[in-house]
Amino acid sequence: MLRILVVDDEPKVRRGVSGLIRMYPEKYEMIGCCACAKEAIEILGKSVPDVILTDIRMPDQDGLELIDYLKHRYQNLDFIILSGYDDFEYARKALQFQVYDFLLKPLKPEELFRALDGVAEKRNSSHITESQSIEDNYFFNLIRSETKDEEEKNRDFLGLSKDKEKYCVALLDARMNCEEFTRKYGSLAYAVKEYLPRAEKTYTCFGYQLISVWKDPYSDDFLEEVIQKLENTFGCRFYLGISRWKEDYHQIKEAYFEALDAVKQYIYFKEQKVSRADRLEQKKMVFPSLLCEKVMNAIRSGNTEQVKQSLQLFFEEYKEKRCTICCLKQHLRRFSRNIESVAEEIGMDGTCSNSIQAFLRNMEEIEDFSEMERVFMNQLERMAKVASEVTEWKMNSYYLKQILDFVQDHFDQPISLEDVAGHVNLSVGYLSNYFKEKMGMPFTDYLLKLRMEKAKELLAHTNEKIYRIAERTGYQNSQYFVTVFKKNTGVTPAEYRKYLKK
């Protein structure tokens, strides 16, 4: 039976969808209806469904944000999006989140049932039992727990003994397309169980990690033969990481991360199929602060070539020391915080830092070191380009303001382009071209326009003599001023004033 949760802020939609689902109690079970992401998260704290039907546009947190949050906290959840917005961009994003289906409102019953039956068929073919799914969720929460209390709570739910007993954790990492693999062979645990050594307990994480608890030791030769059989059978690459031996299950989270560090050595050595934690170098790697600062300075300067060079040096440090995946992730989080600060400095939105954060959340999925380098290189080059544009804009604004302020303060004097160029420390030729580009007219035309506007203002609002107005607008020869004024307005200053009085 398919267990379903409906999340939609429209009561009418919730009632309608719930009514349709309840028409087939032998196939579907409603575990709840709610109006927002917060209520959905509370429900999942008590009971985990198989599939969530969620609207996109909701208050506080939209449907895609809810899906992203839940995918990093629960295993084996499927999602169907309901939306009244026939928008390709939403559909594209939904596919990125591996949403099962995208249904438009007003909802057609036959489309809803087709999508739900598709999910049920998919789950049946994967051979995941409800108890397995629940255990996978608790184990997933155990390794993601942030406090000792959370860790203990999930360990208790899993029934992991507190008695002293020796074991190790083996992590099988399958480099495959999870959806395609499941369609062909069922879940990873179901497909490979006959090939692997006997395990006390097994859990699945992320769809491509199979975690086994072993009580017996197995030789590398035997395990490499197992990996070879798996690759021959399923046509994809497999890697195995093995933790140190532990004395009790209080250390199972630690054992998982040891196995993860071991298996992820393949990002450096593709040919190494079996890795053991007790063979990894245990030297502590210090965060390369100086190299990090070089990258940040390259971004600030807007120099994309410098960004490439400094980022390569930064990552070379990790490749040389073969940093473990856990250490690497911890360091890159610190690195990303620096990136976020620089983005704020240059007035950039959070797009780049958000993309990096999304990558780091799923960093365990990387297949080789170069994949990670490409992600950071692409985002930091974008930031450098923005920084360059911002710097250029600020510089242009600075120069233009300096120029216009100087002209405004000195237009009543016989100033020239040479005077302005000397004030802002630019060459006369560069300033002439720059001014024309930014203001749409030559400097002399701008100065003439400014003086004529000021002369009109004085003629209209004062009774000053014409020669005095000429002086106040930068003309020492009043007759020349009259000639220039008539040429630009069609009348003499005196005629202009007389016309205004009438």
pLDDT for residue 486 is more than 70 = yes
Token pair 């040429």: residue: 487
Per-residue confidence (pLDDT) for residue 21, from 0 to 100: 94
457-488 residues labelled b (16+ CB within 10 A) or e (exposed): ebbeeeeeebeebbbbbbbeebeebbebbeee
SS (H, E, C) 392-425: HHHHHHHHHHHHHHHHHHHCCCCCCHHHHHHHHC
* Percentage of the chain lying above the pLDDT 70 cut: 95
How many other β-carbons are positioned within 10 Å of the β-carbon of residue 168?
22
pLDDT beyond 80 at 246: yes
Cα-Cα-Cα-Cα torsion 491, 493, 499, 502, nearest 10 degrees, comes to -170
**What pLDDT is recorded for position 160?**
86
For the record, the structure tokens of 178 come out as 């999870």
| pLDDT given at position 92 | 67
Residue 371 has pLDDT above 80, yes or no: yes
Kindly report, residue by residue over 321-336, the tens digit of the pLDDT.
Answer: 888 888 898 999 999 9
Is the pLDDT at 310 greater than 90? The verdict is yes
Q: What is the model's pLDDT at position 122?
A: 85
Q: What's the pLDDT at 85?
A: 65
Q: Residue 245 has which token pair?
A: 């031996």
pLDDT on residue 71: 82
pLDDT given for residue 350 in this prediction: 73
Cα torsion through 420, 425, 430, 436, rounded to 10: -40
Task: Compute the distance between CA of residue 447 and CA of residue 331 in angstroms, rounded to an integer.
Answer: 57
**How confident is the model at residue 87, as a pLDDT?**
63
Mean pLDDT of 487-495: 91
- Judged against a pLDDT cut of 70, whether residue 188 lies above it is answered with yes
Mind listing the pLDDT tens digit for each residue in 385-423? 888 876 676 667 777 888 889 999 999 998 988 998 888
**Is residue 86 very low, low, confident or very high in pLDDT (cuts 50, 70, 90)?**
low
**Angle, vertex CA 132, rays to CA 130 and CA 134, nearest 5:** 70
3-class DSSP state of 189: helix
For residue 88, the model assigns a pLDDT of 59
- Average pLDDT value for the chain: 88
Separation between Cα atoms, residue 32 and residue 40, nearest integer Å: 9
Q: How far apart are CA 491 and CA 502, in angstroms?
A: 15
DSSP-based three-state secondary structure for 30: strand
Please report the pLDDT score of residue 351 as a whole number: 76
* pLDDT tens column, 264-288: 999 888 888 999 998 886 657 899 9
Q: What is the mean pLDDT of residues 157-173?
A: 87
pTM of the model: 0.65
Q: Which 3-state string (H, E, C) describes 346-372? A: CCCCCHHHHHHHHHHHCHHHCCCHHHH
Classify residue 272 as left (phi > 0), alpha (psi -120 to 50) or beta. beta
Residue 91: predicted pLDDT: 67
Residue 80 is predicted with a pLDDT of: 93
Look at the block and give the residue holding tokens 């450098």.
Answer: 384
Please give the Cα distance from 71 to 350 (Å, whole number).
Answer: 22
- Lowest pLDDT segment from 41-45, 73-77, 269-273, 347-351: 347-351
Report the alpha-carbon distance of residue 74 to residue 139 in Å, rounded: 10
Best CA proximity match to 30, nearest among 3, 53, 69, 48:
3
